[in-house]
Structures are given as C-alpha cells and as structure tokens.
Structure 1
C-alpha cells in the first residue's frame, strides 16, 4: 500500500492535522511517563498508519488505550479519512472478542499484546481475515500482518469515529461522529479560551490528558491539542500523585477533572501551590455537587467551571466560563452554564413537546452548530444518534432524555434523566433528587439511586453510598439511619429509599461515571438480616 492510497481525505479536520504535523518536526508533542515524543515522531507513525488505509470511510478498529502509540493510530487514521471504531480493552476479553466478531472490521490496530489477547483466534494465534497493525511507540515501526479482506464491508465516508457511549444506564451504544461535526465542536471549544486565534501554528503550554481516550472527554482533549498545535502530557489513567506532579511541572492554565477525580483532589492534602498556574477546572460527564465546587475553590483558590456534553453531540454544548462564573455563580450555583456559541437550548413539555417558558421543567432539546444546517436525522454522516430523526420536534432540534430547567438568562440546570424516573405506586421519583439529598451528608463521598422492581408498588428507589471513611458494620447502620432521618426532612415519603446500602466503592466506568447498570445489579435483591 502506498502513501497515496489514502488520498482524498474528506474534511477540514484531516487537512488541519496534516498541516500541523509538519510545522516543526523537532518540537515536543507528547510526554508519557517522563519521556517526550516529538511532532516528527508522531508524523512518522501517523504516515505509516495512513499508508495502510485503502480509502476514506474504511472502518478501522483500534484497541484504544492512553498510550503514545494509540495517539499515533488515531492521528494516522483521521489524516487518512478513515472511520475509527474505538474498542475498549477494559470491557473484558469475552465482551471485546464478541464485539470484534460482530463488527466485522477489515483492519484492526493495537499493541502486539492486545492484538494477541483480543484479536486472535482465542488461543493466542494470529487473527484471520483482516489486516492487523501494531506499534509500541511513536516513531517506532508500524508492523502490518494478515491482509485486507476482499470485502471491506460498509464504508462510512464522513464519519470520523464510531464511539461507544459510556453505558452508565444500560448496554453501551455505538455513536457515529462526523468529521464536520467534530471540527465544529473544536471551534466551539474556544468558549473556554480568551485567545481565539484559529490559525495553524504550534502554541505554547502543555495540556494534561487524564481522561480515557475511549471516551469523549479524552478523545476530544487530544483532538483539541492536534487542532490547536498544543503539546500534551498523557496519563495512562487518573492517579492523584502523577496528576498533581504533571500539574506542578507543566503549569497549565486549565485542567479537566470528572466529578469523581475532583472529589479525590478535594479530599487530598495537596499543597495549594500545585495550582499556582491554574485559572479554572472544567468538570463534566456526571453531576457535580455545587458544594464540592465551592469547597474546591475555597481550598485551592481555583473556580470550577461545570460543563454539559454528550457523546452524541461530539463535545460540549453548554458550560460556564470565567466571566459568567465571576458574575453569576453566587445566584446560579448548580447550573451547568449557558449554551456555547453556535448552540441553542430549549425545554419542551415531556408529553406535548411544546416549548416551555423560562424556569419550567421539561425535556431538554439542543440545536448545536456541530450538526450543521438542517441537522434533523443526520445519522451516520453527521454524527447525531440515528434515532434523533424520530425524536426531533423542529428543524435542527435534537431531543435528549435529560430533564432540565432553563432560566431567563439562559442558564441551564440538569435535573435528571426522564428514562431513569422511578414510578412508585403511581408517584414519580427522580433518582437525582434523592442522590443530591444523600450526598449532603458529610460522611458520603458519592451516592447512586436506582429503581428496583416491587410486586406491590411497581418499583421502589434504592441507594448505594460510598463513604469518605470506612466504618464497621454497626457504624454503617448508624450512618444509614442518619441518612434516612435527614432525607425525610427534605423528601416526600414516596421518595425515600427503600434500602440504603453502604459499599466500599461505587462501580464506575473508565471515564469515572458511576455505572448505574452495575449499581442496579448490585441492589437487585434486598439484603437479608444476616447480610445486613
């Protein structure tokens, strides 16, 4: 395969990547475990990968980890206009093998170890019926084995990434994200920056990437660095000490922390000097208590800018910036901010889908610049959920399952998920309302609330709580009793959990979200007296 075989890249994003790669090959691009790789080394790996892609739209699976070689796979495939199908190795051998078998991918990329584990015949043998690309680092040779099948399967021209949702509420779904959609999202991300110069050049500063690349937060952060020409420090996973060391050494102006990681930093005894350069923390992917945001700012002197995003939108559509935070946070705390430039938000009635006035509660709809003009039903090429074409109530508007409130100043509050509502004897219980009350207790690090089937009432809310400090069996019982007593002062009787179970740690996805499907499985049966 010659390098020209992958010509005809379909988008501005592919062109921007190609431009950025050659600006200064000797400049530092990526630090991993204390060692730097250059833009030139990235270009070598990306070029070798791109040369193996037979044409735009070819679906290529990547067993994706937070390692330098995997960034090279991503960059090469996007440069070639391929469709990157992200495969999460942490989902377990059997599930990953079943996923690969069902996807029928003509090309698979990963480390030699991952290919042997997931992509072989189950006995460590070589994969059959596809081309396999392996690499161990940027600038190192990219090995090709096997061969392209005669039938490449369905091409996905215009689709940059097929990404699994986090699967926090059920089985993950694969979402197509278009090249144009991601490019618009990258431009919209300037919401958080004061310098909005969009020219292709290498910029100063080092971004810290600690979110998994198999999820939107990590992938988008890397794409931002590529688009902006910014160096990055890649962490294989979030660990408090290595993250704090990276912040101390690289002195970024902005860092990103999912709520679970932010709570770890908040509870740690870090020297506030670690944050000397940091002007803001961006937090998204899951609900963050405004009390935690305020406590973080009080302890470290850094405001927390909450954001609202979804895989389906290819990035963020709303969030706080520093100007809004300084002016409005005291009176709008708990909000996830205002719409990004080029995005519109509205709240509609959950039954009639008619737009509602300010401060009314209903379903959130989004009209985002990521979708372009006439976005309804973009499906595969545009990147919206394919079912959006059946759930839109006007040109370009995409209906979410998020319950929300939008005030007269445009600030958005996310109140929970309509599809997670628990109907208890005819009364509606919103799990997030209960969770927020449980998390007010200073003993509780995090809580999760789900519905459990009940033969008399249909369903009842049940909760799992993770405490800030371990307690014995007797102590746990006292904490639960105190939680229920406190909740009874705020919640209606039908909203009170039928059971609160103390767990060592809530199950989480690789992106740090609480895995509600796992919580539901954990709480499927009540504890017996002996267990409790």
Structure 2
C-alpha cells in the first residue's frame, strides 16, 4: 500500500484528483500541502512513527494529510470535527497529540486553542494548499504528549453509540489486510490503469468514521479520482451520481431511506449496479424497497472500526442467487475472514445456534486469535451471517431477556413508522424496561400509544412490548448514522423531566 501511495509523488501537478464543492482540486495542490506539512513535522523531530493529530473534516486538505501520514510511516491521529466544541476539546485532551492540524475555523475558537496548548500540541492551520503555524498562547506546565505510535497507521475513535467513544489503533498490517480482503470480495483481478483515471469514488460519509475514511484509503490505494461531499444531502449525492455515473456507491441506511423519500428519478441512478450499505443495521424491507423502486440491489456489509472496516457482506453474485432465501442476513465472510459463534462459556456452538460472534482475521491485528465481539449472531449452513442484536444491548426485564433488534423489527412493520430505536431504562421493580422512539413514515400521523401497544402485542411476547413510545422528528445519530443509545436515553430522560 505505501509503495502505491508513494507512486503518486510522480503524478503531474495539474491532474484533477478530488472534486469538492463543484470544482476539481489538482493533485499538485494536495501534494504541496503534504510536503509543507511534512517539512514542519521534520523540523519538530516528528518523523517515522510520529503521531500526527488532524481534525478530519471532509475537505481536500484532510486527504492530503492522510496521504502524507501513510506514505511516511507516521500515525494519523483523528479527531472528530462534528461534535460540540466542548467535547472536541476534551477529546484533544485525552488524545494528546504532539502536533495538531485543523482548518482556521477551529483555531479561531478559544476553547479549542486552549485545549491544544494544554495538551502540549504544536498547532498548524491547513487552509488550501498551505500549512502554517497557528498562533498559540503559552500556558504553564502543558502536558507531555505521546509522540510516537510505531507501526500504527491510524488512531480512530469508535462511533460511541453505546457509550463513550474508544480510540482504536489500526496498524499498517491491518490496513493492508483489509484492502486485500475488500478487493478480493468486490473487485477480484482488478486491472492496473493510469493514476486518477477511470471511474470515480464517492465519499459521502464523514471521514472520521471508518466507512468514510475507508473510501479515501481505497481511493488513494487504487489511484482513483474522488468526489468528496462535505456532508451528505440527497441533492448533492444525486448530482454526483448523475454526472460521474459510478457503478457502485455506498450509503448508510438512513441515507438510503432519504433517497427513497425524496423520490429521486430512476434515470438519475441508471449507472449504478449496486449500493453498498453498512455502518448501521439495514432492514431487509428497506433494501427491498430500493430494489423495487430502482432495480438496484443493496449489498449489506458488516464490520467495525476494530476490524479496519468490513469483514463480511453481500456480493452481486450472492445477491442474485441467495437474496430471496437469505434476506435479512449481512452476507458471508470476506476472503481471509473466519466467523464462529460461541456460548456464554466461550465454547463454539453448533451451526445455526445464536450466540456471541467471534472473528479471526489479519484485519483485527493482535496474535491472530479469535476476537470476541459484542454482537449476538448465528451462522447458517451456507456460511451466511445473521445478526441478532448486541450482547451489551440486551434488556433484562424482570429476569426476561429483551433484544432491542426484535422489538425494532416489529415496530417497523407498522405502516406509520419509518424507523424505530429501542433502549432499556431503569425500573425499580423490574430492573430495566424497554422504551421506543420512532420517526414517522411520510404522510402518516403519530399513532396513539394504545394503538402501538395493541400492534406490538400481536408481534411480540408480553415482556418485549415497550412501556413508552416517543415520536421524534429525527432519531439521534452519531457520525456513522447509527442511532446513539446514549443520546436516545438522554432524550427519554429529558422528556421525563418535562
């Protein structure tokens, strides 16, 4: 990978590389920013293995910093620009990078600047093809940051949908393995071509999430032109697809639903052979609705930050052969990935039994052993993976186990509900009880609680029926577009206080 990325050093200055805001940015501009940043890092003694902090916005400058880090053996330490400034400042304090790159709008904020100085970071502004020193105040006794992370390519935070985000180190070995695994699944035998020619790659999700960052990493490794959306909107995405005519595009389930709700004309999407969907659970009904409307299959994938991205998923061939019988599955393991399901004692279970999913793959790093996930799942006789919720999401109601995914599936069969989310709230008598929030389907009014309880009793066991129902304009989501359980519980707590 590093060798292929270094080969971009010889690409001509005027070759269009990244489309952003409706205009192409030349590769020479990105390379100059990377070279200037590298010179500043060398002057600070931050060479190979050094941690390079970046507030990773969906901007061309961020792509230049990704390329710089991975061609020089440094470690890209990522900070999330989408969170409130107080939380971003706290994240900088915890991450404590020796150097921090960000666009000027962040350095203009006093809290951000103070957090960087207190963490002991040297600061640089990156606006356009230049990198210049940020004007930082002096403070007494700044922290001593961890300057190096040898062998680590990226330090990336999880989405934090079930608790505080965790910082995950991904090694160069893991990234290499993941690139090989995905290419073996999606595009075996891919031909070589001139840099920045051929079809484009669409980067529509935030780069601070593994899905968005992966789109950039794969695009750079394949020397493919990238179309970078600062944020996803249906209009911007439709325009990019219509103009560039990609064969495959990736969208999280919430964005797929938005495309359907916007009634995008089928002719605008006629170039697409498939949509890949990850980051959050994709209901089979949603995938079927997209297929029915546009004739485009939705290829669900499954992965995690800890695994450097996707480790299982659907292919076009599998979709054509198996979808009718296996709809609801997240597909089969990618090349080089092994799956098994274990019981509470850690022993493997028989084929088809539900238990805790374990994965063995070079993408996970470590000693090559089995990695235990937090997902409940089963693997069927044909190797298809079926998720059954998260082990740490299980609600224990008076001794009975309630899987939120089971309740969500039932609620989303109600015609008035577009998407639902379920969590457990404390209860003095029963320990925890399930509560549900939901977004309305277009053209529907919110059903009464009694109507929803009656509907749920036909679909669920008595102890699985939520005790509260809350209609919302939009479910709270993180950067991955997963519903944030932490924010969902805060939403219910807030309504209790009113």
Residue 143 (structure 1) shift: 1.1
Instruction: Report matched runs for 1:57-72 at 5 Å.
Output: 57-72=49-64
Indicate conservation of the 8 Å contact 1:499/1:526, yes or no. no
- Report what 2:139 is aligned to: none
Indicate conservation of the 8 Å contact 1:21/1:42, yes or no. no
Distance 1:499 1:182, change over 3 A: same
Hey, what's the Cα distance between the residues in 2 that align with 1:227 and 1:194? 14
CA RMSD of aligned residues (A): 2.3
After alignment, is 292-301 or 126-135 more displaced? Answer: 126-135
Hey, what's the Cα distance between the residues in 1 that align with 2:86 and 2:485? 21
TM-score by length of 2: 0.93
Confirm whether residue 273 of structure 1 aligns to residue 267 of structure 2.
yes
Hey, what's the Cα distance between the residues in 2 that align with 1:526 and 1:67? 37
Confirm whether residue 420 of structure 1 aligns to residue 393 of structure 2.
yes
Distance 1:511 1:74, change over 3 A: same
Confirm whether residue 38 of structure 1 aligns to residue 26 of structure 2.
yes
Hey, what's the Cα distance between the residues in 2 that align with 1:128 and 1:489? 56
- Report what 1:342 is aligned to: 336
Hey, what's the Cα distance between the residues in 1 that align with 2:171 and 2:107? 27
Residue 129 (structure 1) shift: 4.4
Hey, what's the Cα distance between the residues in 2 that align with 1:194 and 1:161? 24
Hey, what's the Cα distance between the residues in 1 that align with 2:34 and 2:3? 13
- Report what 1:464 is aligned to: 437
Where 1:233 maps in the other structure, the secondary structure is strand
Where 1:316 maps in the other structure, the secondary structure is strand
Where 2:459 maps in the other structure, the secondary structure is coil
Where 1:176 maps in the other structure, the secondary structure is strand
Residue 518 (structure 1) shift: 0.5
- Report what 2:97 is aligned to: 105
- Report what 2:287 is aligned to: 293
Choose which of 485, 488, 497 in structure 2 pairs with 1:519.
488
Residue 514 (structure 1) shift: 0.9
Where 1:188 maps in the other structure, the secondary structure is helix
- Report what 1:407 is aligned to: 380
- Report what 2:130 is aligned to: 141
Where 1:442 maps in the other structure, the secondary structure is coil
- Report what 1:363 is aligned to: 356
Q: Structure 1 stretches (4+) deviating beyond 6 angstroms?
A: 125-128
Distance 1:128 1:191, change over 3 A: closer
Distance 1:362 1:161, change over 3 A: same
Hey, what's the Cα distance between the residues in 2 that align with 1:483 and 1:188? 44
- Report what 1:4 is aligned to: none
Indicate conservation of the 8 Å contact 1:28/1:39, yes or no. yes
Residue 201 (structure 1) shift: 4.4
Choose which of 159, 175, 185 in structure 2 pairs with 1:182.
175
Distance 1:196 1:39, change over 3 A: farther
- Report what 2:229 is aligned to: 235
Query: May I ask how many residue pairs the two structures share in their alignment?
Result: 488
Residue 36 (structure 1) shift: 0.4
User: What are the superposed Cα offsets for residues 339-379 of structure 1, whole Å, 9 maximum, x if unpaired?
Assistant: 00010111111x1111111110001000113246xx33xxx
Confirm whether residue 314 of structure 1 aligns to residue 339 of structure 2.
no
Where 1:513 maps in the other structure, the secondary structure is coil
- Report what 1:476 is aligned to: 446
Hey, what's the Cα distance between the residues in 1 that align with 2:364 and 2:283? 30
- Which runs of no fewer than 5 residues in structure 1 stay unpaired? 1-12, 377-394
Indicate conservation of the 8 Å contact 1:86/1:161, yes or no. yes
